Structures are given as C-alpha cells and as structure tokens.
Structure 1
Amino acid sequence: MGAKLLYICVAFILVAYYIYSPIPENVGQPWKLMLTSAVLRTLGHMGKAAEMLGLANYMDVMKLFSSSQYVPPTSDENVAVTDTEFSGVAVRLFLPKKPTEGLRRAMLFFHGGGFCLGDAGMKSYDFLARRTSNQLNAVVVSVNYRLAPKYRFPVQFEDVFSASKFFLQSRVLSQYGVDPTRVCVAGDSAGGNLAAAVTQKLLEDSEVTNKPKAQALIYPVLQTLDMNLPSYEQNANMPILSKSLMIRFWSEYFTSDPSLREAMTSNRHVPAQWGHLFQFVNWSTLLPDRLKKDHVYTGPVFGSPALAEKYPGFLDPRAAPLLAAEAQLRGLPSTYILTCQHDVLRDDGFMYATRLRAVGVPVTHEHAEDGFHGALTFVTSPSDMAVGHRLMSSYLRWLEEHL
C-alpha cells in the first residue's frame, strides 16, 4: 500500500511539473491557461518526434487540436448556420433569425492559427461568430481558407480576398439583406493579418465598389522583418504562442526549407537591399516608452539575398501588412486593434495603430494588461476565463458602436 501511494505521489508530481508553466501574476485563473498550454505543448513534442521519424509533418500533428475542437454547423433559435462556398472558398455562414426593419450589418471573419491551423468550425470560433451574429443581428461569413504547409503564401490571402470580394458584390449583399455601407472585416492572430491585408487590397481594387466600413484586428501578426521586438523578447516563452512557434508559423507559411526558419530565428533573414522596409517596423519610434523598458534599439543585421530571392513572400505587404507604405494606409476604415501585454505579437499591433493614426485613420486601440495570445477565445467551457469574456464584450461593444 505504501509503495502504491508513493508511486501515485511521484506520478502526480511529474504530471504537475509537466503541466506547470510560469504565468504572469496579473493573469487570472492561470491553471486554465496552463492546461491548454500543456495540451499544445504535448502535441508540439509529438509533432517534432513524428517529423524526426519521417512519419508526419509537425503542423499535421498540431492540427489534431483543431480537429478535436470541431463542431458541425448547427442552427439554434437565434441563428441559422450552414457550411457553403463563396467563389469556391469554404465558408461557414451565420444568418440571424431576428426580424429587422431595414438592412443588416455584416462581418467577414478570418480565424487564427498561424496560417497552418484553425477552422471556422472550431468551438471557439463558432461561438464567436454565432454571438456576433445574434448580438449585432448581423450576417457573419467565417472563411475557411486553405492552410500551410500543404498550401503556401499567397494561397491563404487569395482565398480570403476572393471570398470577401464575392460577398461584397451588390447582388450578393442584397441576397442576404446586407447594408453595403455596414460591412466589417475582422480576424484574430493570423486571421488579423489576413483581415488587415484584405482591407488594404479592397481599398485599392477599383472593381470593388462596396468598401468595408470597419476593420477589427484581434492581436494581429503584421510583420516579418524583426523577430527581436521587445514583445518577442519579453514573451518568448509565454504559453499558447512562443517566439519559436511564431517563427515556425511564419516559415511554414512560405516554405518547408529550414534555412528560412534558421535565419528568422537569428534575425538575419532580410537582405540589405530591402533595408528601407525597416522604417515601418522601427519600434524605437513606433512604440510608447513604457513598452521599451530596458530594450535598446539596434539597427538590423542583414542576411543573404538568396532567401529573399527564393521566398519573396516575407517582404510582401499581403503577408506583412505593416510593410505597406503610407499611401496604402490612407483612407482605411475605422479600425479596432486589440493587443495583449503577454503576447509576442503585442508590438505588431501597437506599431500598426501608431502608423494608422499618423495618416488620419480613426483607431480604437484596446490593450489588455492581463491578456495573453488567444485570450478572447477563452470563452467556452472548460477553458473559459474572465479575461476572455471581458475582451469579447468590449470587442462586440465596439462593433455595435462603429458598424
């Protein structure tokens, strides 16, 4: 009996040690974040092992998390939900059942997942779209773009742009009873990247007569140039999205060639002839002083031009919207940006907010001091957290007021 108890105690200690992750003190209900992180970390270990053994790609193993969270399209008393296609691109469509006297608002939403993971049918994204549709009495189009590593850049951008352009046609908006002057483009993480890039492109496309009224970018990833931003350094090992995982996502977006990932890890992937782009990600001028702390900005260390010649996508504003010139930013619609303190992508959002304001774009920038990457989707059991409900409510309130 004593030996069994000892084994149980040792096993418990080992499990607790594995689950434990250092969490900032101001994050409430940290054990929920730890549990989710432990699941993702386990999949990551399995993915690395499978890749080393030649059994599967790392990202294919990580997709097991998305698969485990999938829910079928299910209508309820408030919203009709169906899976369909717009211009050959899979979408999950949410149509409110509430009667309305006039035309409805609409949302184009792009899920996150580092361009490699995620699905509009994941429980958290289904819940977010369903609640948005119900609360705003809005049509929501949640786009299921194709994923890396099977499909590389610019496929993901082309998918969401094609679906958006299709939906914004007057005849399609009329079919769904949507007011063409009240459409928002939104997304979180990699989806925030796609939302920002699509909104920029829609603005300059002369074939698109119905332009978005607003864009909502939820802890977006927006730049590929500097992997040593203060937020990357401060949050390098935070749960959910570490620095190394974000670099892995970026590299898989463009190529399976590990040399790009290695160069990005050492921050030596941008050639000198593209050095002028660093003005758009110069955190010494674009971040508030409180975020710089003890970090000292140093100029870029340039890499070989070979990588940029082979994989030019990482220098393309369609992949990195923060690299767009001022002329491409002027005229963008009212913008909501959510950033979280404990997130490697924090500074991307701050810099974009600074640049948009500088060219006269109306920006509402909400920063969650107790937030972490993915926080807004922590709203369904068993991983629901107070910070997730607070951020979702604030996001929906902004949409109510600006859409």
Structure 2
Amino acid sequence: MDMGSAILIIGFAALVAAFLLLVIGLVYSELMNSDVPRGVANSWKLHMVHGLFVGIAVAGRILERLGICHQVTVTRWLTACLLTHSSPDSTGLRVNNRKFSEVPVRIYEPFTACDNLRRGLVYFHGGGWVLGCIDTADEVCRHIARKTETTVVSVGYRLAPEHRYPAQLDDCETATCHFLSVAEAEFRVDSSRVAVGGDSVGANLAAALCQRLARREDGHLPSPCAQVLIYPPLQMADFNLPSYQQNHAVPILFRGRMAFYFLQYLNGDMSVCQDVLEGNHVPSELRPRFQEWLSPSNLPPECLAGGYSEQPTPEYDGEVYHAIKSGLEPEVSPLLADDAIIQKTPPTFILTCEHDVLRDDGILYRKRLLDLGKDVTWQHVMDGFHGVLSFFDQGWLTFSSAGRVMDSVVDYIRTL
C-alpha cells in the first residue's frame, strides 16, 4: 500500500469516527432531556428505543446537511427496517396488496369458514402524517384480522412533506368508500359492519373521516359502524393541557414534536411552531368556545394529580393564525367540531395512555361524546406511552403494555 492510499484510508476512518462521535453526542444530549416516568413498564427499554429513534433522526439530519439524501427518506427507511418483520406470519390469512382508486392498500382476509358476511376494518397507520406505512402497521393488522376474524384493509395514504393536508384524509376517504362499495361483492364483508380506525394520527384521520362522511350523508354508501381511536391527537388549539405539561419530555412523542407534526401536515411552516405551542394562534373570539370543550375541569381529577399549571392568556397573533387556520378546523381538529356533527358520528372506542401528551385529547373527546349521548368504550393503559402499539410482537422491542393495548382493541372489534 502506498503512502497516498494509507492517508486516504486513515482520513476516511477519521471521518467515520467523527460522524459516529457526533451522532453519539447528539443522541446523548437528547436522552438527557427526556423523562421516562417510573410508571412505565420496561422503562429501560423505552430509554433504548428513544435512543434508537433519536439516532435515526440525527443521522438523517447529518446526511441531509452533507447533501447525501433527505432526512425524511433516511428516517422512513430506518424506522420501517426497525418495525417491520422480515418474515411475517401469514397463518390463517390471505394477504394481498392492491389499489383502491389509486390508493395503495393491503388486505388481510381470514381463511376460516364463515357462513355469514364478515365484519370489516379500514385501518390507518400512525407516524405523524410524515412517517409510517403499510409495512409498519403490518403486524398489528395481521393480528387483528386473525384474532377477530375480520377483513382488515390497511391504507397507504400519502405522506408529508411531499403531500399536505387534505391529501392524507382524501386518500383515507377514497379507500374507505371504495371498500364500502365492493365489500359484499368482492370480499364477502357486510358493508354495514365496517369500522374505521387507527393509531396516533391514523386515529385522527379516522375521527376526521367519520365527521366528513357525517357532513355529506349522501345515502349512497353505509356509514362506518364504529371508529377505533388509539391514542388520538384531536386538536391543535391547546398544547398546554395537563397531559402536555406532565408528559412533555416522555418518549417517544415530546410536546414540541406534536406541534411539529401538525405543522408538517398543514404546510411545513416551522417558523410559527413556538407561537403555536404558546397558543398565540387562537383568535380571542374562538377561545370561549374552545375553552368549554378543552377546560381541564372536564378531566377526571386523577388527570390533574400529576401537576398542572394554568398558563397566562396567550397574546393573539393574526399572522400566525392565518398561517395555520385550517388546523383549527374539525377536519384537522375533530375535537373542535360542532355538537351537530359529533352527534352523527358512530359508536366510538378510545384508548389512551397515561404517559402520553395526547392522553387528554382522547379523554376530552370521550366527554363530548358522552355529553351528547353517544356510545363510547374507553380503555386507559396506566403504564402505556405514545406509540406503544408499534412495539407489539416486535421481539426484543416488545413492551408488555403493547399486548394489553392490542387485547383491548381486539375485544372491542369482536363486539361489532
């Protein structure tokens, strides 16, 4: 080996070492800012998972700065690798990839004999409208289909930042309506027993879709028979609810990150993120109505036991409002819909986790539904955290609370 080659090898090794040290340093710094509560089961594992996700994000950011590839591309690919089984178990299922009116879907049909038409579930994955795909929801959908003998349709809706609101909701509507129109003829599914649901932003899309369909009510297709909402984000009017304060630094969803995802969904304008977190985007004339629905007094007393500090009235900024005003509309914030629309929505299953910034969104939506006489089933996982369902049956990444979340979902779907 000549001197020039040796210098190149040494230089490359030094560059790799510097890259790794930078990633490790940034990950360590991020971990020091996180807070894993004692009440979380397998807390050491959550620390590890958080470190993996931070490492993926940091590596993507560095590669983007170097002009090698886009951060979102790296994050999506590595996250999918982490949460996707290389050899999924298809026992008892027929699994097919198709397109419903150009929207990619994966259909899980049980093999078991059934004299009557089956029930159906249209499922929307989570991931902040930016991450996630049919593959990352694969294990969840397989398990639901197998254990409940339900035909499950998983929807691969378009993602931000390439596509903004309402593209994601439009795709979910398109796929759902297509399935409802062919359910009996093609899949032996009773179209009057088709529910919609999802986890995290997938639950947001399910709730928003039920309200959109309730507004139209054209009568050509049956409405969803239920909505299955697993730790849903349901409003972007108040990021200072007790659960946002108590769990602001609990992995894997920090308070600031939820505002980031909402903004990515809407338009990608991150310059207003801090204003949104402080509430400067809500017009004074809307605050009394929103306060009626979002007041911490509407929460069970135990939700306040972890601490809550009432914030001073935010200073309204009209420019910020106009930048994100669609985020206060019900199709982005279903919790802020009028009574008349919520009254038309189907029976609801809501699952919340104690250590989740979105805990109170689900609980407050439950109260609105109950106040209107709607049928609501609520499950609360005391040792759960946001995104825990993604770690169901994931080998060494599996969390015990993920199994309880899944059991609750399965038990509810069996009742439909």
Determine if the TM-score, normalized by the shorter chain, exceeds 0.5.
yes
Question: Match for 1:176 among 164, 187, 198?
Answer: 187
Deviations 1:187-227 (CA, angstroms, capped at 9, x unpaired)? 10000100111111222323343111111100000001111
1:87 Cα shift?
1.6
Alpha carbons 1:331, 1:361 under 8 Å: kept: no
The correspondence of residues 27-66 of structure 1 with structure 2, limited to 5 A, is 27-50=40-63, 57-66=70-79
Write the distance in 1 (CA, Å) between the matches of 2:206 and 2:87. Answer: 23
Change (3 A) 1:74 1:384: closer
Look up the equivalent residue of 2:401 and give its one-letter code: V
Shift of 1:29: 1.8
In 2, Cα distance between equivalents of 1:377 and 1:277:
35
* Residue in 1 that maps onto 2:17: none
Give the direction of change, closer, same or farther, for the CA distance of 1:348–1:76 in structure 2 (3 Å limit): same
Distance 1:302 1:165, change over 3 A: farther
1:25-174 correspondence runs (5 A): 25-50=38-63, 57-68=70-81, 69-70=83-84, 76-122=90-136, 125-169=137-181, 171-174=182-185
Q: 1:288 aligns with which of 276, 300, 308?
A: 300
Distance 1:280 1:88 in 2: 41
Query: In structure 1, what is the Cα distance between the partners aligned to 2:148 and 2:354?
Result: 28
C-alpha distance in structure 1 between counterparts of 2:67 and 2:184, whole Å: 47
Find the residue that maps to 1:90 and give its secondary structure.
strand
2:330 aligned with 1:317, yes or no?
Answer: yes
Task: Return the alpha-carbon distance in structure 1 between the equivalents of residues 390 and 89 of structure 2.
Answer: 20
TM-score (normalised: structure 2): 0.86
Pair 67,206 (structure 1): closer, same or farther in 2 beyond 3 Å? same
Indicate which of 246, 249, 272 corresponds to 1:237: 249
Counterpart in 2 of 1:185? 196
Alpha-carbon distance change, 240 to 298 in structure 1, aligned in 2, over 3 angstroms: closer
Structure 1 residue 330: Cα displacement = 0.7
Whether 1:279 and 2:291 are equivalent positions in the alignment is: yes
Native 8 Å contact 1:73 1:82 kept in 2: no
1:233-253 deviation digits (Å, cap 9, x = unpaired):
111111111112111111111
Unpaired runs of at least 5, structure 2: 1-20
Counterpart of 1:211 (choices 207, 219, 223) is 223
Counterpart contact for 1:106–1:178, Cα < 8 Å: yes
Equivalent residues of 1:91, 1:143 under 8 A apart: yes
Percent of aligned pairs sharing the same letter? 34
Provide the residue aligned with 2:8 in structure 1.
none
Pairwise CA RMSD:
2.4
Maintained 8 Å contact 1:238/1:343:
yes
Match of 1:328 in 2: 341
Matched, 1:383 2:394: no
Higher mean Cα deviation, 133-142 or 372-381? 372-381
In structure 1, how many angstroms separate the alpha carbons of the residues matched to 2:284 and 2:354?
Answer: 32
Matched, 1:202 2:202: no
Q: CA deviation at 1:316?
A: 1.5
**Does structure 1 retain, via aligned residues, the 8 Å contact 2:121–2:196?**
yes
| The 10-residue stretch of structure 1 (138-147 or 380-389) with the greater mean CA deviation from structure 2 | 380-389
> Are 1:338 and 1:365, in contact at CA under 8 Å, matched by a contact in 2?
yes
Q: TM-score, normalized by length of structure 1?
A: 0.89
Q: Deviations over 1:261-315 (max 9, x none)?
A: 2322333222334435523542333211221234244564143222332433212
Tell me the distance in 1 between the aligned counterparts of 2:204 and 2:292: 16
How far apart in 2 are the matches of 1:178 and 1:75? 23
Mapped contact 1:72–1:121 kept (Cα < 8 A): no
Distance 1:247 1:400, change over 3 A: same
Q: Among residues 225, 231, 235, which one is paired with 1:223 in the alignment?
A: 235
Q: Per-residue deviation at 1:260?
A: 2.3
Distance 1:156 1:266 in 2: 27
Pair 67,298 (structure 1): closer, same or farther in 2 beyond 3 Å: closer
Distance 1:266 1:51 in 2: 30
Aligned with residue 359 of structure 2, among 313, 324, 346: 346
Q: 2:88 touches 2:139 (CA, 8 Å); kept in 1?
A: no
Q: Give the whole-Å Cα distance in 2 for the aligned partners of 1:129 and 1:350.
A: 25
Paired residue total: 387
SS across alignment from 1:211: coil
CA distance in 2, matches of 1:290, 1:156: 35
Alpha-carbon contact 2:90-2:142 (below 8 Å) kept: no
Q: CA deviation at 1:132?
A: 1.1
